[in-house]
């Protein structure tokens, strides 16, 4: 009997002869769905070699088809976190490789590293982590091995940013990794494109100088969105740049629209009603545009009446619905989009007013923080279609949250991680662990079953893998 196995589907086929053949060829075993059994073959003869070749040629096409069906399931087993709010930019991790219950001592620490200042979250792709932070008068883009934490390369440039309110003076914007490149947006508006493999600078633009941008309250916080050929940003200068697109290969400005000022939110792209649209929550409100041409599809004003206010949460798109939210007596709104038409489904300042952390959605319910960071916000579950509050944990405190499968991963500013089922019945944590010392304001990254968390001076990697 000859057992034929695929070693590296769909490109390689190898064989293993019967146990009584002393010249058997070894191959790594694979799951049963890629094993094929044929009759006895004597590979020393030309006819047997022809039979084997014919057998393999007949098998290759079915194997390729099978692999194309199986591959999506394999991809969802574990995933990277290449940009702000994850691969789909909505705070969701779809991998199925996480443990259900944390050890009593907390998740094992894989590695820990001393780092510089910043609210910029880490991002991970292809086994490498990109960290954007500040040490001294340098903004640093550092590439680390995601498994060991060892440095692979670093790139830095001078910065003179000073925070008017005495906060952290590092970068706020989270990098994006796309098509072998890294895009970063510094606290003073320096947009860089680096080679992901080497860290070599490919191009850079001083967006504040180019678009005549005045300094905002807390520096630049918009995280780059790579969509098609464009790198999209809310810049908000005196020259039209409420939403601007840069060619991802050259840095050349493709288009720039709107005189809206910059917020601290980041754009997101989605297909709604068959139209690919980029949604940008500027300081003045929500706008929708064609990411290829910049043609505005709609504008929806949503801004606090007071000057000392910000819009920070990223728009959350679900089907043809868009959820936007802000504090400072602004509140939340659910909008229904049909081309250039906007219908307000509901709005309220008493439901889910996000200060800076974006909400997530699961099975028709929103989960997020309600209230100002400095006032001890509540953690809430809200019915998406109606705005009905299903449960609320008052004075919970600030933090960030993401959705992993059927569970919420809530990271508090104190550095405590809580895991709870994403259900509208009640908030019932099944696990708690102190991951890092506070204060934690940067979004974490969850990639390949490992959680990466940073505060003002440390970056830690803990394993949540089964």
Residue 26 pLDDT: 36
Contact indicator for 419, 377 with CB cutoff of 8 Å: no
Q: Cα separation of 218 and 237, whole Å?
A: 15
pTM of the full predicted structure? 0.84
Contact indicator for 115, 454 with CB cutoff of 8 Å: yes
Measure Cα distances from 402 to 24, 233, 412, 443, 444 in Å. 50, 23, 12, 9, 9
Q: Name 159's Cβ contacts closer than 8 Å, sequence gap at least 6.
A: 134, 137, 138, 139, 186, 187, 188, 190
SS3 (DSSP) at 361 = strand
Q: What is the pLDDT of residues 160-208, one digit of tens each?
A: 999 988 889 999 999 999 999 999 999 999 999 999 999 999 999 999 9
Residue 44: pLDDT above 80?
A: no
Residue 36: pLDDT above 80?
A: no
Residue 17: pLDDT above 80?
A: no
CA atoms within 13 A on the CB side of 96: 6
Q: What is the pLDDT of residues 205-236, one digit of tens each?
A: 999 999 999 888 889 999 999 999 999 999 99
Q: What is the pLDDT of residues 330-375, one digit of tens each?
A: 999 999 999 999 999 999 999 999 999 999 999 999 999 999 988 8
Q: Look up residue 379 and give its two tokens.
A: 């953690």
Mean pLDDT across the chain: 86
| Pair type for strands 458-463 and 109-114 | antiparallel
In sequence order, which ranges of 202-357 are alpha helices (DSSP H)? Answer: 207-211
CA atoms within 13 A on the CB side of 46: 0
Residue 386 CB neighbour total at 10 angstroms? 12
E strands, 222-320, in order: 225-227, 230-233, 243-247, 253-257, 268-272, 275-281, 285-289, 296-301, 316-318
DSSP string covering 154-171:
EEEEE-----TTS---S-
| Contacts by 248-251, CB closer than 8 A, 24 or more apart | 248/178, 248/179, 248/181, 248/183, 248/193, 250/203, 251/191, 251/193, 251/202, 251/203, 251/204, 251/205
| Pair type for strands 399-404 and 92-93 | parallel
Q: Residue 58: enclosing H or E segment and its boundaries?
A: helix 46-75
Q: Cα separation of 247 and 230, whole Å?
A: 5
E strands, 282-320, in order: 285-289, 296-301, 316-318
Residue 377: pLDDT above 80?
A: yes
């Amino acid at each position: 009997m000859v057992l034929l196995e695929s070693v590296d589907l769909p490109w390689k086929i190898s064989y293993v002869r019967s146990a009584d053949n002393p010249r058997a060829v070894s191959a790594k075993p694979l799951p049963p769905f890629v094993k094929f059994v044929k009759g006895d073959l004597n590979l020393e003869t030309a006819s047997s070699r022809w039979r084997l070749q014919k057998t393999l040629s007949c098998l290759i096409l079915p194997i390729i088809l099978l692999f194309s069906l199986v591959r999506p399931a394999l991809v969802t087993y574990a995933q990277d976190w290449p940009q702000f709010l994850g691969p789909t930019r909505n705070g969701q991790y779809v991998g199925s490789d996480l443990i259900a219950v944390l050890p009593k001592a907390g998740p094992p620490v894989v590695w820990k590293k001393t780092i510089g200042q910043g609210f910029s979250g880490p991002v991970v792709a292809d086994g490498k982590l990109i960290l954007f932070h500040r040490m001294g008068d340098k903004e640093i883009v550092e590439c680390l091995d995601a498994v060991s934490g060892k440095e692979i390369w670093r790139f830095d440039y001078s910065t003179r940013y000073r925070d008017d309110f005495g906060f952290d003076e590092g970068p706020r914007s989270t990098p994006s990794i796309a098509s072998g490149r890294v895009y970063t947006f510094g606290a003073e508006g320096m947009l860089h494109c680096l080679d992901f493999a080497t860290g070599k600078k490919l191009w850079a633009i001083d967006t504040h100088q180019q678009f005549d941008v005045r300094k905002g309250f807390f520096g630049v916080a918009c995280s780059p969105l790579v969509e098609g050929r464009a790198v999209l940003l809310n810049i908000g200068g005196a020259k039209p740049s409420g939403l601007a697109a840069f060619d991802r290969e050259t840095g050349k400005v493709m288009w720039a629209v709107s005189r809206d000022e910059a917020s601290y939110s980041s754009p997101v792209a989605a297909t709604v009603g068959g139209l690919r649209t980029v949604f940008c929550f500027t300081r003045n409100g929500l706008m929708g545009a064609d990411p290829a041409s910049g043609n505005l599809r709609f504008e929806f004003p949503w801004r606090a009446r007071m000057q000392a206010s910000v819009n920070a949460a990223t728009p959350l798109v679900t089907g043809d619905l868009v959820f936007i939210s802000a504090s400072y007596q602004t509140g939340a709104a659910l909008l229904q989009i049909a081309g250039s038409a906007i219908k307000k489904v509901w709005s309220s300042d008493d439901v889910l007013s996000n200060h800076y952390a974006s909400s997530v959605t699961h099975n028709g319910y929103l989960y997020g923080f309600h209230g100002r960071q400095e006032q001890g916000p509540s953690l809430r579950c809200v019915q998406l279609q109606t705005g009905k509050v299903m449960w609320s944990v008052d004075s919970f405190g600030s933090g960030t949250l993401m959705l992993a499968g059927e569970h919420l991963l809530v990271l508090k500013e104190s550095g405590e991680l809580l895991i709870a089922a994403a259900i509208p019945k009640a908030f019932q944590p099944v696990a708690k662990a102190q991951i890092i010392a506070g204060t934690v304001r940067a979004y974490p990254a969850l990639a390949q079953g490992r959680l990466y968390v940073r505060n003002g001076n440390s970056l830690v990697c803990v394993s949540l893998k089964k």
